[in-house]
Structure formats: structure tokens, C-alpha cells
Chains A and B, each alone.
Chain A
Amino acid sequence: MVTISNLQFSYGSHEVFSNLNLTFDEGKIYGLLGLNGAGKSTLLYLMSGLLFAKNGTVEFNGHNMSRRSPDALANLFIVPEEFDLPAMTFERYVLLNAPFYPNFSRETLDRCLAGFGMTADMNLARLSMGQKKKAFVCFALATNTSLLLMDEPTNGLDIPSKSQFRKVVAECMTDNRTIIISTHQVRDVENLIDNVTIMGSRQLLFDMPVAQICDHLTFVDCKLGQEPEGAIYSQPSALGSAVVCGRKAGDDETTLDIELLFNAVLANAESVNQAFAAK
């Protein structure tokens, strides 16, 4: 689906990626996580042909994305963190933009809008930023493009809308679609993503399917000072300590604590990755 090979990219003298290799397969929702400035948005822009690599390639279904060919763009949609919608009705917006996307589904659009409690007869000029974002996300999902990139999609959404967002995205997911959600608000994508990709400064720190993470790691709360032996990472929590441990034979599977994993990877990516190599 998307193959990134030996990617090198910099803004002037500030190097963002050096020799990055990464693939995104179809049928998965990827959570692209990282601190501010780690290069999450930059990676999405490179994937959509909005930025050009200094060295290396970014290919989507065999298309070199720096060429921005219409065939590739018709199968890709990006929801940027900040965007401009024209001052017109949503119906008119759909009428003007939908013909560019061969797999656009009006039914999906109406279903997504209903999921957010919205209707298509709204004027985009009169919507708040959060409402605009919901309308735009609905349109993005309705395009049915095989690659959907979302940059901080939950920014500006109220709390009920964040859970509606997860529901709507999950409903629109298909086996031949790839959704990449870049966010620093890791809780917002919990229970939604199939793969966790964590970016560090200039490099990829962690890239693993959720099922494999749960197979190799456990996330437990314990009293302060009673951290289990061989803990990879621990941090203070309401109960004492939240701990990431390597999962041993006979250990029960635990629910993925994505925030804890994120902190563990940022603190010591090598130890976390070793847990996967060891088993």
C-alpha cells in the first residue's frame, strides 16, 4: 500500500528523517504517535505529495507521490490539522468535490453525518471549527479512498464527538483501506487502531501491531515499590505505579494502555523493542 524507503527529509538545515524505512499495509488503522515536532505531520505530507523527499522514495500503490498523479490522488484523502472550507453549503461542497473521487458514497456520507448528529443542509460558513472538522471527516470517509490520512483529527472536537469519531471511523473501515491517524492525544485513538507507530526525533522508534503488543507486553497497576521484577518501564499512577512488563508464559493478556506504552517507548525504545525480539 504505502512504502517508504530510505527516506531523508529536512527543513533547511533541520533534519527530520534520516534513512526512514516504513510500510503501511491495507486493512489496518495505524496510530502515528510522537511528540510535537517528531515529524508526524511531515510524514503525512510526504505521503500525500505535499512535500518532496531529499533522498529516498514514498510510494503509494506503486505511484511516486512527489509526482502527485491524479490516479494516486483520487485514491488518497488527507484531513489536515487545519484546513479551509469555502463559504458555501455542504451540499454544494459535496457536489463540487465528490466527482473527483470515483468511490465516493453518498450513503456513507449520510451515515457518518448522522453519526455526528449532523445533516447535509448546513452552510459551511456558519459552522464552528469543531463542526467543520466533523463535516470534513465525514466527507473524507465518504470518499472511500484506499488511503486516508488524518492529522490530529480529534483536535477541536468535544468529548462526545471524540467517541463518535472513533465509532464512525471504525464503521467505515474496510479490508482494502488504510487509515493513518497522526495524533499526540493518544487516548483519543485507543481501541480504534490496529497498529502503533511511534516516531522519535529523526527516526522510527516503534512499529508494531496491537495484537503483537498485547502478546508480548503486559500493562499492570501495582502499589508503589512493588513493581514486578523485569519491569521495562514504570510511572506513577493513582494506584501507585503503572508498569510495562514483558509478558511471560502463563501471564494473562492485558488491555493495551497506549499512553503507558507511548511513554515507555519515549523513555527507552530499545528495551521495549527487545521484549519483542526476546520472546
Chain B
Amino acid sequence: MNNWFNIKRFWLVLRHEFAEAWPELAIFAAVFMVIMCWPVVFFKGDAGQTQVILGVAGYGVICIGVVLYYWILASRVFANIQRPERKIGYLTLPASNAEKFYSRLLLYWILPLAFGFIPYPHTGAAINNAWMYFFIAVILGVQSSLAVLFGTIFRKGGLLVLILAEVVLTVALVAYFSTNPQAVKNLDLAFVAQIADYVGVMEPDRGRAAKLAFGIAAVPTVFNIGLARIIFSRKRLRRPLVYVEQ
């Protein structure tokens, strides 16, 4: 039998993982529904000025909520190798490293990303906006793939490291732009307009912008997942379990 990837064995691993993970995945699905649906409940009615402001704020909250949601979800991909008691059973399960890796990735990353945004085209809002493509692809794809990667390296601290890295990056950017007025000048409207013009975001046909956004996002995402896959295949116990005298 193929020792790298076998569909029958992959299905067995997927079934095995789902049987243990479904209560957690159900909670995540419920949380996602709450994040996506609460503005609909809160901001229905006439679109007055206050409502519009609140609606924009709500939209921002959804964006931040969704990003955080996918970070947390992605950082749970390898939750079952965080504790040695679970790790032993999981790593010695008769399946290849690839089958184990992709089954967890499918349940905790690929399917939630896919299902989370299937409703969007039907709303007619997001899919027509190239920047929304960019938001989904870059923010969710790249950043949550970093959570997957950090999850394989830092065990329980994967999410924490990602948040820390984001905070450090933000502080560094703010510090850089606040102390370099020239850098701010370089970011003038003409410069932004040039990029917008290049990717065709101002044009009615936004396909080019979307493709570029996906292209930009795909490279680091594939790199992060590939690296996580290599690290996962080298996973081992860190130390023996604690001896307990009976």
C-alpha cells in the first residue's frame, strides 16, 4: 500500500479526527454565525446617519472578528499534538504523516474558510469587490496559514506568537512612519492611484486585481503550509511522560 498517501486511509483518518473534533467544530461554527449575523439583528431598520456610522463600525468589527476567528481556528489545527498523552496515540495511528496533516488541515482550515465564504457571492456584495477578494485571500489565507505554521512550532503558544508578531509589526510600522515624514509623503494619493490603476481596481472588470491579490496571497500561504507540513512530519515527543508512583 502507498506509504505516502492513500485515499482509503485518508478517509479513515478524516473520520477518526472528525469523530473527536466535531463538538469543538460545532462550537466554532456557532461562533462564526454569531460574528456574521449580529449586525443584521442590530442594524436593521432605516438607514439614518447614525445607523450608517454604526453599520460601518459593525462592518469593521466583523472584519476584525473574522480575522481573529480564523486565527484561533487555524491555531487549533494541531491541538491534538499539544499534550503528550494525545500525541502518542495520534502519531502512532497507522497513517502517513501527510494523511494526518491534511485531514486536520481540511477540518480546521480549508473547510471553514470555504464554507465561511460560500454565502458571500449570494449577497452580491463581496464577490464584486476586488478588495474583498484581497481581504479574504491575503488577510485570512496568509495570516491564518501563519497560525497553522506557528501551531506546529510553538504548540500551545502558536496563536500567542502570531498575535505578538502582529503587534510588533504594527508598532514597528507606526514607529517608522511617525519618524519618517518622507515615507509618509511617498505614500501619497498619486502613488496609491498608480497601483490601483495598475491592478485595474478602478476598472469595471476587476478580475485582474483579484488574480493579482490571489497570486500575492498564494505564495506565502503555500510556503507556510508547506513548512508546517515538513515540521509536522518531524514531530516527536519532547520528553518522557511524568512517572507516577502507584
User: Using a CB–CB distance below 8 Å, which chain A residues touch chain B?
Assistant: 11, 36, 41-42, 45, 48-52, 68-71, 73-74, 76-78, 80-84, 86, 88, 92, 96-97, 99-101, 152, 155-156, 185
Shortest distance from the beta carbon of B87 to any chain A beta carbon, whole Å: 8
Give the contacts of B206-246 with A (CB-CB under 8 A). 234, 236-237, 239-244, 246
CA distance A100 to B1 in the complex (A): 13
Contact between B6 and A73 (Cβ–Cβ < 8 Å)?
A: no
CA distance A232 to B55 in the complex (A): 87
Contact between A49 and B91 (Cβ–Cβ < 8 Å)?
A: yes
Contact between A84 and B94 (Cβ–Cβ < 8 Å)?
A: no
> Is B92 an interface residue, CB under 8 A from the partner?
yes
CA distance A11 to B119 in the complex (A): 50
CA distance A45 to B84 in the complex (A): 12
Residues of A within 8 Å of B237, CB to CB, are 45, 50-51
Chosen A-B contacts, 25 in total, with CB atoms closer than 8 Å, are A36-B243, A45-B88, A50-B88, A50-B92, A50-B236, A51-B236, A52-B236, A68-B91, A68-B97, A70-B95, A70-B99, A78-B92, A80-B85, A80-B241, A82-B84, A82-B85, A83-B89, A84-B83, A88-B19, A88-B20, A92-B19, A99-B12, A100-B94, A156-B246, A185-B246
Instruction: From B1, B9, B15, give the contact of A96 (CB < 8 A).
Output: B15
Shortest distance from the beta carbon of B122 to any chain A beta carbon, whole Å: 36
Residues of A within 8 Å of B9, CB to CB, are 70, 100
> Is B96 an interface residue, CB under 8 A from the partner?
yes
Count A/B pairs, Cβ under 8 Å: 88
Contact between A42 and B240 (Cβ–Cβ < 8 Å)?
A: yes
CA distance A35 to B237 in the complex (A): 21
Residues of A within 8 Å of B84, CB to CB, are 82
Query: Given contacts A96-B19, A97-B16, could you give 4 more A-B pairs where the C-beta distance is less than 8 Å?
Result: A48-B92, A76-B92, A81-B244, A100-B9
